[in-house]
A and B are shown apart, each in its own frame.
Chain A
Amino acid sequence: MTATESIKIEKPPKGASIPAKKGIKKAILGIFKKALETESLDALIIPVKVPETESYAWVLLKDTALLENADPLPPVMTIQGGKVLSDLTKHGKINKNIAAVLRPCETRAAVELFKLKQLHFENISLISIDCPGAIPLSEYLAEPEKSEKSFGNVLDKWDGDDSVREICKTCYRFSLPTLTNAPASDLHIGLSGNTKDDVVLIPVTSKGEKILEKLDLKPESSLQKWETKIKEIKKIKSQRRKEFNHDFKTNISGPEKFTAVFDGCINCHNCQSVCPICYCQQCYFDSATTKLSSEDYFRRAKERGALRFPLDTMLFHLGRMSHMALSCVSCGACEDGLPHVHFRISGLQPRRRADPASIQLYPGNK
């Protein structure tokens, strides 16, 4: 038995094409509405705009009226979806048939949390969606309309990456985690590669197949066009990642440059609390263990001539990296969660990880 009680389909040959004349968002929400109305699903987890605001919140819903304000792919990532699933099922399985609509990095975070025993997959189907990236949260909140617009452009062109977060620009796992290896979702929504006229629902596991069956949707469309386009974008983004890694390495190498990255850190630990992987109830770095006696402080101050407060910010970041970066899914939540003292950390995380290709294992693979 696998984690999700479902059987992987070797290589999804075909998908179900859904007309999207009124826009992809409407088309996808239409499917979800039908799924809830026909009780193919008991409930759905999806970002919903809080009424009269521009903020997105994660909502578990069965009332289809709430879908009016829902967005399967909002321009921003507020709270990491994997974390949301963990909040829901940390203490046991849920007894409703639920689907969660997540970005690929969110599904992978969910899988990591499952491995870390922070999440129960029973009765939950993961629906992943092709993701062109997310707009930086602070930029979106400052100018929501402008951001919605630029996100629309990104979604149309799949190359207008300028307005998405740095980490998203270099993300080459923006689609169904892999076509050949074990998947991290049950049903995938393919956007790129299709014209704006349709979206394609790709069953990835038997669970996903069942959802399509219940909705009376037959996977009969060829995926070739979508696959080709995905490969194309993947190539561009992988190249960008390589360049980024190279530049980044040059920019942070050596203790001076490296410490400069964290100069602005005020020890708020926001990066840790929004990280989907950092699941500890009480972080070691918040515990009494890290508090020193006044003699210790003074001794350290004497040794170095001065002591910076808060203490050991670098130890915190390096410690967190060594604890968690192996499971880092490069979602960028840590950077979005920073107070507006912007320093780059999400770029650092993947660097600490072994080359996934060489060990045939990367976070989020079931």
Chain B
Amino acid sequence: MEKAYTPQIIGFLCNWCSYTGADLAGVSRLQIPSSIRVIRLMCSGRIDPLFVTKAIFKGSDGVMMMGCHPGDCHYQKGNYYTRRRYKTIKTVLEVLHLDAERIVLSWVSASEGVKYARVTKEFSNKITGLGPNPLKKEIFL
């Protein structure tokens, strides 16, 4: 029997807001899609665009970049840089006609457990709709 397709999504979460938000979602017993694999960083500004690119090229079905809302960064301005990096990655992939849709940016604060549950579910559904990342099966990358 063929297993139903469950996507594999990497979430890069900042320690101070989004990871705490995800924790709150868990403590609140909200349902979180099992497709999300979380990697915690101290700040979303630590997300080297290459982390995201590598995840996609090595076959992850989607990547979520999450951090504090603009203005709320624990380090004052880390997430402003994240925002520019996110736009950069998206633009490059769009111009190259690669699946830019598989990458998303969400601001989730420490108190937004509900939002964490919502955005992860929405993104997971979207990726399920898109199907597996075609790079997963490509040999000549």
B140 interface hit (Cβ, 8 Å): yes
- B84-112: contact bitstring with A at CB < 8 Å (1 yes, 0 no)? 00000000000000000000000000000
**A59 lies within 8 A of chain B by Cβ:** yes
Minimal beta-carbon separation of A362 from chain B (angstroms): 35
Which B residues from 99 to 141 make CB contacts under 8 A with A? 139-140
Task: Determine how close the nearest CB of chain B comes to the CB of A66; give it in whole angstroms.
Answer: 7
Which chain B residue shows the least CB distance to A50? B140
> 1/0 contact trace for A36-71 toward B, CB 8 Å?
000000000000001100000101000000100000
| Number of chain B interface residues as a range | under 10
Report the bound CA distance from A50 to B139 in whole Å.
Answer: 9
Q: What range describes how many residues of A lie at the interface? A: under 10
Residues in B neighbouring A66, C-beta threshold 8 A = 139
Interface of chain A: mostly helix, strand, loop or mixed: mixed
Quote the shortest CB–CB distance from B58 to chain A (angstroms): 16
**Bound form: Cα–Cα A59–B140 in Å:** 8
A203 to chain B, nearest CB (A): 31
Contacts of B140 in A (CB 8 A): 50-51, 57, 59
Q: Mark B29-60, 1 if CB is under 8 A from A, else 0.
A: 00000000000000000000000000000000
Chain B residues whose C-beta falls within 8 Å of the C-beta of A50 in the assembled complex: 140
CB neighbours (8 Å) of A51 from chain B are 140
How far is A51 from B137 in the complex, measured between Cα atoms in Å?
14
CB closest residue in chain A, given B140: A50
User: Which 5 residue pairs across A and B have the least CB separation, nearest first?
Assistant: A50-B140, A57-B140, A59-B139, A66-B139, A51-B140
Residues of B whose CB lies within 8 Å of any CB of A are: 139-140
6 CB < 8 A contacts A-B: A50-B140, A51-B140, A57-B140, A59-B139, A59-B140, A66-B139
